[in-house]
């Protein structure tokens, strides 16, 4: 059973930074792509970033240049470094994963999800 646990959310002022972590367990994650999504109140969940097993990355246009996704395969953990945060980044952030084997970074179709962590950016 795959489990994903996010941490690192909180309240920060606009312009500040936060680092989210997602610890994965339940199997070996070789060949798994890992991603971050977010859902703001009243809005649909949206893709934020993804990173393949080999380190290829993909970002939503809204976060390019501000957010950095990374992973530590030895620790089965992915990270999302968020800089220059804006009030519109306020949302519940979810990590997700799926087996792909190929070095792709899809924006949807993930199989496993974490419970989410709240990020609130005050103006």
Question: According to the model, what pLDDT value does residue 2 have?
Answer: 92
In this prediction, residue 51 carries a pLDDT of: 96
Q: How far apart are CA 35 and CA 95, in angstroms?
A: 6
Per-residue model confidence (pLDDT) at position 29:
84
- Mean pLDDT of all residues in the chain? 95
Average pLDDT over residues 59-74: 97
pLDDT of residue 43: 97
Residue pLDDT, tens place only, 82-103: 999 999 999 999 999 999 878 8
- Whether the CB-CB separation of 59 and 48 falls below 8 Å is answered with yes
Q: Which residues are within 8 A (CB) of 25 and not within 5 positions of it... i.e. 6 or more apart? A: 2, 3, 5, 76
How many alpha carbons lie under 13 Å from residue 8 in its C-beta half-sphere?
Answer: 18
Instruction: Tell me the HSE value of 27 on the side-chain side, using a 13 A CA sphere.
Output: 11
């Amino acid at each position: 059973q795959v489990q994903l646990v996010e941490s690192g959310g909180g309240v920060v002022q606009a312009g500040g930074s936060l680092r989210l972590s997602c610890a994965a367990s339940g199997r070996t994650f070789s060949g798994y792509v890992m991603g971050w999504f977010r859902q703001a109140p009243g809005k649909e969940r949206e893709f934020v970033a993804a990173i393949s097993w080999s380190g290829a990355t993909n970002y939503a246009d809204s976060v390019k240049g501000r957010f950095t996704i990374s992973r530590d395969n030895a620790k089965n953990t992915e990270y999302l470094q968020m800089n220059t945060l804006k009030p519109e980044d306020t949302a519940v952030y979810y990590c997700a994963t799926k087996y792909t084997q190929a070095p792709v970074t899809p924006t949807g179709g993930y199989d496993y999800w974490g419970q989410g962590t709240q990020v609130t950016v005050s103006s």
